[in-house]
Structure 1
Amino acid sequence: MSSYQKEMVKIKHHEREIHGVSYMPNSKRKCPVVIFSHGFNGTNVDFAMNSDYLAKNDVGAICFDFCGGSINSKSDLKTDEMSIFTEKEDLSAVVETIKNWGNVDPDNIFLFGGSQGGLVSGLVADEYIEDIKGLLLLFPALGIADDWNKRFPTLDSIPDTHELWGVRLGRIYFESIHDYDVFDHIGQFNKNVLIFHGDQDEIVTLEYGKRAEMLYPHARIEVFPGEGHGFSEAGNKKVAEMTYEFVKANI
């Protein structure tokens, strides 16, 4: 087990600032790095265990709060200013920033996204194919646009604000995905993709994970029996171990 440094990171872009945490091995060599993107109303802490596991095994990790991504976010923006596309800008800024860090191997940057962060990671990977070595998706919320377009079928039906699970969302969230087909904007990423999905997920059905597996040229899905949207401790530990194995196999 190696030692590592945990440090606060601030990244400015589009007149806003991202708060993040880096977990970088105490190594003289440039390290492969996994960028973790949390889900709806999550924070960087959601992947602290995964990051600790990687950093102790000489793989760096970056976790951050999406701007407006949570009522507990330390980054800028209010939740009603956030959309899938502001989050896409945030993740792109993290990629652009860390690839220039002295201790990061720019040829071995991986994206890991959970739920809504999985959708965002998929969108970014398709646009940053040269920069991203591999993609890991944890119950990716690829049905977000479908779900909300059923709920608000016309632009006129979109409210100025709408509360979901205690989070106030703004018109921008729904308007930006109106008539948007997620599957037209993912699947071009031609390197390895690993999808983790529970067979009891009631928020994002397993069908979305399977559809993504079919879409990507080099994807594999690992189905977790009995797991829902948010894994058990045992499930999360297995995800952390498999993430490390995926990185090792792809560098």
Structure 2
Amino acid sequence: MVDLATWQAARAELLVREKAHTREGDALAAARRRLPMVELDGTVEVVGPDGPVPFLDLFQGRDELVVYKHMWHDGAPHQGQCEGCTTTAWHLKDAGYLNARGVSFAILTTGRWDEVASYVEFMGYTQPWYSVRDVDAPVGGGMGYLTCFLRDGDRAFLTYSTTGRGNEPASGSFGLLDMTPYGRRETWGDNPEGWPEGRGWCWYWRSDADGNATWGPTSRPVPQWTRPGATPVETLGRQGHH
């Protein structure tokens, strides 16, 4: 424990490091804008609520497009779908500010459209979703990625892609947790002596009907408990991963 003046001095010292971190982030963003681009076939079809449409339609007339590639467990009920991808998709329910800046947003997944449509309705998602089942990279391919595209007329280009912790900027909760005294409370975190013991990676992404954090068969991704009709479950029902 210290007095306020001592705390303010320590805070000012940390702020120097935070500003340097911000400037390095700006430099990395500038480097991303200078990456070479890969042209792709913008006429390749993806499947949405109106059936097959060309990939170029996802730009919605804008020049830039960000997509999140959502993993899918074929045949699984809603509670069995990917908890990590749910974290990202839930944080990106509204792309209003992206749209205002001239950037469109969509979620792509390898699930069959009939399964995807049911899931999207259950989750209450309003952002555009499309199935890219059997579509090759870079439109399809590996899931769990944030990917950026550029359009020039009827031409489309891949400009950037990231996964893992590279997806964290899309989920504002991570940044807020990193400001809190206890942080994410995961075992990898560097915490002061005497702090609460951490748990495994992303332990709080799923919970049971009573709010207990668990990835067991009685769990759902946590936002699902806010959805109408979300009842207790006894299995994740995962049969496979596509």
TM-score bucket of the superposed structures, by smaller chain: under 0.3
Structure having the higher strand fraction is 1
The structure with the largest alpha-carbon Rg is 2
TM-score normalised over the length of structure 2: 0.28
